[in-house]
Structure formats: structure tokens, C-alpha cells
A = this chain, B = another copy of it.
């Protein structure tokens, strides 16, 4: 196809704070650009085919549940251990009216952006 998803962009009040959190979560390196935004990718170099996360400053605050969110999957690691690691990094549990007993955890980053921690797959 002539287009591909190259970037996921997250609006921030404090891009450095949010980027620092996600860098620790993913083990990627947050890189500041002179324009005031931060980016990161798995390779850490600006390769076109490497999915980037971009953290941009915006004036407006977050007001509602995000309509687009990320799911994280443990890579071999235990879901419960990962939950504790993420909470230690500054994630918090988020109540978006979800049912009890889900197989995943609904969390939020330091600016309240919801994300889910899925169960560990064993396939």
C-alpha cells in the first residue's frame, strides 16, 4: 500500500513528563527536538519504517476518555509483575466504567492517557 502508519502522536501538557514515562515503560529513549516535542522509537534512529511515538505540546487540557489508546502486551514477562512495574513508573489504575474481572488492566499515564496492559500470551 502507498501509505503506512509511521507515528502515533500524543498531545501533552508536559511532553517531557509523558515522554519520560513512556520511555521507561518501553525501554526506548526519549529525544527532544528544538521545536519542543519529543520522539522515540525502538531503534532510536530516525528511520522511516520504524514506528515512532511523538509527544507534542498542546494548550488544551485532557477532558474526556481518549478515543484512541494503546494496548501493551508483556513480552514473555508476567502480567502481574509488569503491572507492578508500570505502577512504579507512575501509571495508575483508570476507571472507565469497565466490568470487573477483565483479563487486562486499564491504566493511565501521568497525564491520564488511558492504556491497557494485556495478559501474557503463551502462543
A residues with a Cβ closer than 8 A to B are: 1-11, 25-28, 48, 51, 53-54, 58, 60, 62-77, 81-82, 85-86, 113, 116-118, 121, 123
Name the B residues within 8 Å of A27 (CB-CB): 1
Chain B residue with the shortest CB-CB distance to A70: B5
Cβ-closest chain B residue relative to A2: B77
Minimal Cβ-Cβ distance residue in B for A5: B70
- A2-B81, A5-B26, A6-B73 given. 7 additional CB < 8 A pairs? A1-B25, A3-B25, A3-B72, A4-B73, A8-B71, A58-B67, A68-B68
Task: Report B-chain residues with C-beta under 8 Å of the C-beta of A25.
Answer: 1, 3
13 residue pairs bridging A and B, Cβ less than 8 Å apart: A2-B76, A2-B81, A2-B82, A3-B26, A3-B73, A3-B75, A5-B8, A5-B51, A8-B70, A9-B70, A11-B67, A58-B67, A64-B64
Counting from the closest, the 9 A-B pairs by CB-CB distance are A1-B27, A2-B77, A7-B71, A6-B73, A68-B68, A3-B72, A11-B67, A48-B121, A9-B69
